[in-house]
């Protein structure tokens, strides 16, 4: 049972410490509860993407709350700040249409930063057309230098599009590549032809056969194994030019390919919000 001293409080997160006792056949769990109104120095990251919005509350470098919403309204933010009254700063990045009420609300809640191409970043941006660089890719580069400082890092972000982004060991962002995402490939085969069906993404790519014996299974084979080959070939080419190389995979669809890829890859969920948090930290120290 939860001790009475903890009842009725709201908690931001808990941590399980599991220990197998050598002399007993039972497992013991120690649960550490942290009340939301006692955790200081919280930060809110708002990432408004193409498909949905992520609201992430950070305590230091740990995400203690992550919420996905389709169309964010002020009520969502009011709930977050009610649960976490000690949020003292926030950052907003939007690649889509932005409700002007959102930055106005956030700016009234403490230190607020909206990501623009002129925003200070913790890396050297050597992209030739910096003003056209996507905000998600800016955040990805910021996450790369935080996760693997002084390393060559290739980040593969598997979202609506698949982006490849490279940061050198000197902290220079050089650029990368953009290709169609998984869903986009299936939709293109259906929308740009007269008779090919729209194939749904299977829950497990390990069940996809290389040799398709129906139109549907042939489409699955072409898309999945074609993309697998693209990713592995791209990693190999970057490794030849930027060795040694750390490779990170992230994005909404990374889970489908994590087990299929042979390369030594670091799976890092929510890399964009982590990068935005690093940008916020960087600007607060300036």
**Residues with Cβ < 8 Å from 66, sequence gap 6 or more?**
54, 55, 56, 57, 270, 273
Distinct helix (H) and strand (E) counts, the chain: 7, 13
pTM, two decimal places: 0.83
- Is pLDDT larger for residue 216 or for residue 71? 216
Task: Please choose, from the candidates 89, 90, 91, 81, the residue with its C-alpha nearest in 3D space to the C-alpha of residue 37.
Answer: 81
Cβ burial of 47 (10 Å; 0-12, 13-18, 19+) is buried
135, containing H or E segment: helix 135-147
Are the CB atoms for 127 and 174 separated by under 8 Å? yes
Q: Compute the distance between CA of residue 112 and CA of residue 192 in angstroms, rounded to an integer.
A: 44
Q: Which tens digits make up the pLDDT trace of 161-208?
A: 999 999 999 999 999 999 999 999 999 999 999 999 999 988 878 788
Question: Which of 47, 136, 165, 253 is labelled catalytic?
Answer: 136
Count Cα neighbours of 217 within 13 Å in the Cβ-side half-sphere: 9
Reduced to 3 DSSP states, what percent helix, strand and coil does the chain have, rounded to the nearest 5? 35, 30, 35
How does pLDDT run across 99-150, given as a tens digit for each residue?
A: 899 999 999 999 999 999 999 999 999 999 999 999 999 999 999 999 999 9
- Is 119 within 8 Å of 91 (Cβ atoms)? no
Query: Alpha-carbon distance 18 to 29, whole Å?
Result: 5
Helix (H, G, I), strand (E, B) or coil at 166: strand
**Cross-strand pairs, 175:** 166
Domains recognised in the chain with CATH numbers: 4-114 (3.30.420.40), 124-277 (3.30.420.40)
Which of 83, 129, 78, 80 minimizes the C-alpha distance to 101? 78
Which position has the token pair 């109104």?
A: 37
Tens digits of residue pLDDT in 223-251: 999 999 999 999 999 999 999 999 999 98
And the tokens for 219? 């489409």
The H or E element spanning position 142 is helix 135-147
Contact between residue 143 and residue 155 where contact means Cβ atoms under 8 Å apart: yes
Residue 136 annotated in active site: yes
What is the reported pLDDT for 16?
A: 34
E-only strand ranges, the chain: 11-20, 27-35, 42-48, 53-59, 62-69, 87-94, 111-114, 124-125, 152-158, 161-167, 172-180, 245-250, 266-267
């Amino acid at each position: 049972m939860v001790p009475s001293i903890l009842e009725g409080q709201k908690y931001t997160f808990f941590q399980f410490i599991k220990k197998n006792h050598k002399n007993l056949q039972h497992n013991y769990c120690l649960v550490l509860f942290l009340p939301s109104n006692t955790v200081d120095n919280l930060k809110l990251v708002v990432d408004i993407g193409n498909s949905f919005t992520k609201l992430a509350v950070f305590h230091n470098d740990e995400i203690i709350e992550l919420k996905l919403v389709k169309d964010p309204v002020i009520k969502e933010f009011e709930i977050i700040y009610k649960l976490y009254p000690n949020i003292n700063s926030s950052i907003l990045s939007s690649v889509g249409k932005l409700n002007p009420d959102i930055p106005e609300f956030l700016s009234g809640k403490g230190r607020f930063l909206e990501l623009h191409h002129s925003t200070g970043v913790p890396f050297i941006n050597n992209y030739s057309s910096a003003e056209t660089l996507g905000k998600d890719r800016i955040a990805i580069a910021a996450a790369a230098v935080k996760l693997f400082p002084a390393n060559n890092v290739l980040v593969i972000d598997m979202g609506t599009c698949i982006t490849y982004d490279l940061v050198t060991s000197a902290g220079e962002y050089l650029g990368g590549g953009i290709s169609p995402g998984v869903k986009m490939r299936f939709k293109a085969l259906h929308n740009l032809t007269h008779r090919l069906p729209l194939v749904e993404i299977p829950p497990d790519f390990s069940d996809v056969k290389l040799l398709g014996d129906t139109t549907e299974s042939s489409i699955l084979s072409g898309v999945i194994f074609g993309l697998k080959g693209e990713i592995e070939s791209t990693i190999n080419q970057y490794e030849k030019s930027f060795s040694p190389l750390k490779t990170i995979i992230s994005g909404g669809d990374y889970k489908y390919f994590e087990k299929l890829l042979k390369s030594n890859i670091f799976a890092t969920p929510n890399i964009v919000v982590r990068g935005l948090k690093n940008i916020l930290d960087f600007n607060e120290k300036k």
